[in-house]
């Protein structure tokens, strides 16, 4: 039987007055979510919280139909169904948040990033919109397993600028996709195989924006989960803390 252990922590940072990040870690459901809200007058806080709530409700209802992936991890039909569940959950949140903004002028333009991880034994299903991130560490190696939906990331992919140039480019945090800014959003999904002792890091840009490199996160992920999350947030605050900061560390104990 698959077993997971997770720890999550969020912090307002050193500059912002409100925390518009939201997160969820549910080991029983095998579901982990980070969301970074966008919009003034605390609308971003509403968007991120609603998105996390909606994704959890959707996955809790739909996950039983792909539970067989735990015993049949290479069943491509089940994998496709699991990806569809994550896309459906995020689209549902998108429609809800967009509708709320349309009926309340104070919430006009609100939205949120979202990164979703659903674990079913050897199968990890990823859903991504925006520039929060999910990393996977295994055997001393780390890899970012989501793509940033930002203007800068698109320019890097198209070869217009280098990663070094991107560090100093203006408008580095302009995102190209968000949950709720329109009725529909394109959701990236993928399936990743997991093994025992894998660790995942889900975080908002208030954390990963302060990492000198992906590899820098490794020493924190090797700590016990709660301490690793605490020290990562402390690192971001020490380096400026200009944004809200959220981190979830997920350990795969058995698959």
Q: What is the pLDDT of residues 12-59, one digit of tens each?
A: 999 999 999 999 999 999 999 999 999 766 689 999 999 999 999 999
Compute, in degrees rounded to 10, the torsion defined by CA atoms 4, 48, 93, 129.
-70
> What average pLDDT does the chain have?
92
Share of the chain above pLDDT 90, in %: 79
pTM of the model: 0.94
Domain ranges of the chain: 3-140+178-254
pLDDT for 142 beyond 90: yes
- With helix as H, strand as E and coil as C, how does the chain read? CCEEEEEEEEECCCCCCCCCEEEEEECCCCEEEEEEEECCCCHHHHHHHHHHHHHHHHHHHHHHHHHHHHCCCCCHHHHHHHHHHHHHHHHHHHHHHHHHHHHCHHHCCCEECEEEEEEECCEEEEEEECCCEEEEEECCEEEECCCCCEHHHHHHHCCCCCHHHHCCCCCCCCECCCECCCCCCCCEEEEEECCCCCEEEEECHHHHCCCCCHHHHHHHHCCCHHHHHHHHHHHHHHCCCCCCEEEEEEEEEEC
Which of 93-97, 152-156, 222-226 bottoms out in mean pLDDT, i.e. has the lowest? 152-156
Q: Spelled out in words, what is the top-level CATH class assigned to the domain 3-140+178-254? A: alpha beta
For the residues 157-179, what does the mean pLDDT come to?
72
pLDDT for 83 beyond 90: yes
Question: What is the per-residue pLDDT for 225?
Answer: 83
Q: How far apart are CA 85 and CA 79, in angstroms?
A: 10
């Amino acid at each position: 039987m698959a077993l997971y252990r997770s720890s999550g922590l969020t912090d307002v940072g050193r500059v912002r007055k409100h925390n518009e990040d939201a997160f969820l870690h549910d080991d029983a459901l095998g579901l982990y979510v980070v969301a970074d809200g966008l919009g003034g007058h605390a609308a971003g806080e509403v968007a991120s919280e609603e998105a996390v709530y909606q994704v959890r409700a959707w996955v809790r209802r739909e996950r039983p139909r792909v539970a067989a992936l735990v015993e049949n991890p290479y069943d491509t039909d089940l994998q496709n169904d699991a990806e569809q569940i994550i896309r459906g959950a995020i689209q549902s949140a998108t429609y809800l948040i967009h509708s709320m903004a349309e009926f309340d002028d104070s919430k006009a333009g609100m939205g949120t990033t979202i990164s979703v991880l659903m674990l079913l034994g050897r199968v990890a299903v990823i859903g991504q919109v925006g520039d929060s991130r999910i990393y996977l560490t295994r055997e001393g190696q780390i890899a970012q397993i989501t793509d940033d939906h930002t203007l800068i990331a698109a320019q890097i992919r198209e070869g217009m600028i280098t990663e070094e140039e991107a560090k100093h480019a203006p408008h580095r945090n302009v995102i190209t996709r968000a949950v709720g800014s329109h009725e529909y959003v394109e959701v990236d999904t993928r399936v990743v195989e997991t093994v025992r002792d894998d660790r995942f890091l889900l975080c908002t840009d208030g954390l990963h924006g302060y990492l000198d490199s992906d590899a820098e996160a490794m020493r924190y992920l090797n700590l016990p989960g709660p301490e690793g999350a605490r020290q990562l947030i402390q690192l971001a605050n020490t380096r400026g803390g200009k944004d809200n900061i959220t981190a979830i560390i997920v350990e795969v104990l058995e698959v």
